[in-house]
Amino acid sequence: MNRVVGTSGRIAFASAMRNLLADVYPGHDLEALVLRVFDELGLPVEGDGPEPKEEYLRKWDQRDAFLITYGDSIHQDGKKGLQSLGEFHRKWLKDWLTGIHILPFHPFTSDDGFSVSDFSKLRDDLGDWNDVEDLAKHGTVMADLVANHISASHPWYQQFLAGEKPGVDYIKTASPNDDLSDVVRPRSHALLNDVVTKAGEKFVWCTFSYDQVDLDYGNSDVFFEMLRVVLNYMQHGVRVVRLDAIGFIWKEAGTTSINLDQTHKLIKAMRLACNAVYPDVLFITETNLPLLENLSYFGNQDEAHLIYNFSLPPVIIHALLSGRSDYIRKCIMAMPPAPAGCTFFNFTASHDGIGLRPAENLIPDDDIDGLREHALKMGGQVSYRALKGGGKKPYELNVTLYSMLAENFGGEATMGLERFVMSQAIAMSLEGIPAIYVQTILATENDQKAFEETGIPRRLNRKVWPLEDAERVLSEEGPAKSAFDQLRALMSIRMGQPAFHPNATQYTLNLGSALLGIWRQSHLNEQSIFCVFNLTETPQDLDLSKINLIMTEGWQDLITQQVIEDYDGIMKLAPYQIVWISNLDGRNRTESRLLQRYRDAMPV
């Protein structure tokens, strides 16, 4: 471990940890809990230690972008999943997707990995910890901590049923007489599962399914168990930890049992502990929530380093299907700049489909219904969540992004590829770090066969690709190759531009309903990029006088290299054209003193 907490820092660390745990575990022996944290981290309570090295303090810049994938999304006979994934990443993606988010890789019993039966090892078909370390040599590895629940086959739950330690004290239970009417859930089945244990009848809290039994963080031992899991990740090269379904970990009858104060304090304690020994490790919270609730997970710059920008997928998709920028402009304008040391994780598709709850208060219900109906028309499925007092509401669209965008709301099956590429270009242009799902990389259509065989809607968007098939579609002329080549080119341009730093200044422009405009400005105000998107299938006029091109600068479109000569003129945008109009192209000055000044000034 990188033991980086010196004497003075150790005192401050102990005090901060004590304050956090005091709010979560009142009445406990706080000194004993803090000493236990020191013990888990391998930190001596007294004595000097080295200070953090400078390289630990660089968190991210415009060169960072992530691939989202399962460990077996790319498959080869005779090879472990992570070995095939590593081969695919090194050959096709390493130069423009610098990070790899591997979805849960432990042995599991359901939910495609999110029902973990053993945290200590990887699935046999994926490989072992050495394979994780090999991936970490070529990219920044993100791993999932499935923090809220375990599989009903996990030893802790089997111990719970048998009345044995330690598991007997690790599982969350409640009484059917408790007031659970306000509990917020993403599923429609009954919350409590009536089971028979050695101690008699118990009602087990199951937020997601009866094979996913919730842990009881009211027992501090559970927190320490999960801390050990995360530390093991870090010892094997993981540098970003995704806290799955983290908003649900603390439950109390008579409350919503989501986003409770204890949840936030436990995330802060986890980050504080891990950064004491691995200061370069980042935490990202997976909280599929409306905007303001999601933003709360930045804390006071002491909680999540990154949060998922869950509002983006539905508003981007609606904009491209409708040809209107109204709702996406509203979304972008509502997003405050991320606090220093924090940023957003921008994506358009993931293994979970297109979440609709984050679109609440951004897209009216009638237009949400339009998205739902379009997904069904395009061969997708819809998942629902239970509402207080009964009834249900659309929670998630299960459909691939490529299939969803193949037609617009008008039923015109033209220019779907252009809509598809633009969806990624928008995410690349916004404040934050872009992430691209493996099925987006491959322009995957709905996997109807997998859905029909399993009856699981999310399987529509979780195709397993033989490596040779994946390489074939990226090599042979066709939609997948065309989209791939465009995305790689766009990302390559993006990586050289200081104004695309994840924390560079962002302004939203009002250029009319048919256009989306975003102004990015680098930290030293030396570079501006005006990102403009024609969201329609018809040509549009961009009035350059509305985007403030300073006359003392030279301007050009970074994508086409077109030089702008008439700053008050009209720029003709083709259907679904993307322009990045800049006064500087960082790709041509990578060794210049100006670019070095940008790097030196990047906030940590």
In a domain, 26, yes or no: no
* Residue 381 sits in the same domain as residue 475: yes
Rounded CA gap, 527 and 582, in Å? 7
What's CA 492's distance to the chain center, in Å?
21
Task: Please enumerate in sequence order all residues whose Cβ is within 8 A of that of 352, keeping only pairs 6 or more positions apart, or say none.
Answer: 288, 396, 458
CB 540 within 8 A of CB 323: no
Rounded CA gap, 431 and 66, in Å? 15
Predicted model pTM = 0.93
pLDDT at 188: 76
Question: Strand ranges (DSSP E) for 421-573?
Answer: 433-437, 465-466, 505-509, 515-521, 528-534, 540-543, 555-557, 563-564, 570-573
In a domain, 28, yes or no: no
Q: Which has the closest alpha carbon to 370: 386, 350, 394?
A: 394
Low-confidence ranges of the chain (pLDDT < 70): 1-8, 46-58, 587-604
State the chain's maximal CA–CA distance in angstroms.
Answer: 81
Kindly compute the dihedral angle of the four CA atoms of residues 154, 156, 160, 163, in this order, to the nearest 10 degrees: 130
| Beta pairing class for 306-308 and 343-346 | parallel
DSSP class of residue 36 equals H
* Residue 364 sits in the same domain as residue 238: yes
Known catalytic residues are: 244
Q: How many residues does the chain have?
A: 604
* Residue 235 sits in the same domain as residue 363: yes
Task: Please enumerate in sequence order all residues whose Cβ is within 8 A of that of 27, keeping only pairs 6 or more positions apart, or say none.
Answer: none
In a domain, 129, yes or no: yes
Domain boundary among 493, 518, 537: 493
CATH number, domain containing residue 193 = 3.90.400.10
* Residue 135 sits in the same domain as residue 262: yes
Task: Please enumerate in sequence order all residues whose Cβ is within 8 A of that of 537, keeping only pairs 6 or more positions apart, or say none.
Answer: 323, 408, 412, 414, 415, 575, 576
Rounded CA gap, 244 and 266, in Å? 14
The string of DSSP letters for 131-196 reads HHHHHHTTSEEEEEEE-SEEETTSHHHHHHHHT-TTGGGTB-B--TTS--TT---S--S-SEEEEE
* Residue 162 sits in the same domain as residue 298: no
Rounded CA gap, 250 and 247, in Å? 8
CB 239 within 8 A of CB 282: yes
pLDDT at 592: 39
* Residue 360 sits in the same domain as residue 431: yes
Q: Which has the closest alpha carbon to 270: 291, 288, 284?
A: 284
CATH number, domain containing residue 592 = 2.60.40.1180
Residue 259: HSE in the Cβ half-sphere, 13 Å Cα cutoff: 18
* Residue 363 sits in the same domain as residue 477: yes
* Residue 227 sits in the same domain as residue 170: no
In a domain, 12, yes or no: no
What's CA 602's distance to the chain center, in Å?
23
Rounded CA gap, 203 and 176, in Å? 7
Domain boundary among 171, 197, 214: 214
Cis peptide before 166 (omega within 30 of 0): yes
CB 273 within 8 A of CB 46: no
Sign of the Cα pseudo-torsion (457, 461, 467, 472, in order): positive
Distances (CA, A) of 305 to 55, 66, 174, 465: 17, 15, 33, 32
- What radius of gyration do the chain's Cα atoms show? 24
In a domain, 102, yes or no: yes
pLDDT at 7: 53
In a domain, 15, yes or no: no
In a domain, 43, yes or no: no
What's CA 369's distance to the chain center, in Å?
25
Residue 535: HSE in the Cβ half-sphere, 13 Å Cα cutoff: 26
Tens of pLDDT, residues 345-383: 999 999 988 999 889 889 999 999 999 999 999 999 999
The string of DSSP letters for 354-403 reads EESGGGTTTS-HHHHHHHHHHHHHTT-EEEEEE-TTS-EEEEEEES-HHH
CB 178 within 8 A of CB 382: no
Domain boundary among 493, 519, 545: 493
Rounded CA gap, 302 and 286, in Å? 16
* Residue 383 sits in the same domain as residue 327: yes
CATH number, domain containing residue 135 = 3.20.20.80
Task: Classify the phi-psi angles of 512: left when phi > 0, otherwise alpha if psi is within -120 to 50, otherwise beta.
Answer: left
The structural domain count of the chain equals 3
Residue 102: φ, ψ to 5°: -95, 115
Rounded CA gap, 407 and 380, in Å? 13
| Tokens standing for residue 48 | 């000097």
* Residue 181 sits in the same domain as residue 236: no
| Tokens standing for residue 131 | 């394979």
Helix (H) and strand (E) counts for the chain?
18, 25
pLDDT at 8: 59
Across the chain, mean pLDDT equals 92
pLDDT at 52: 45
* Residue 117 sits in the same domain as residue 174: no
Tens of pLDDT, residues 92-149: 999 999 999 999 999 999 999 999 999 999 999 999 999 999 999 999 999 999 999 9
CA angle 275, 278, 279 (to 5 degrees): 60
In a domain, 446, yes or no: yes
Which residues form the domain of 169?
A: 155-214
CB 258 within 8 A of CB 248: yes
Residue 53: φ, ψ to 5°: -80, 155
* Residue 194 sits in the same domain as residue 224: no
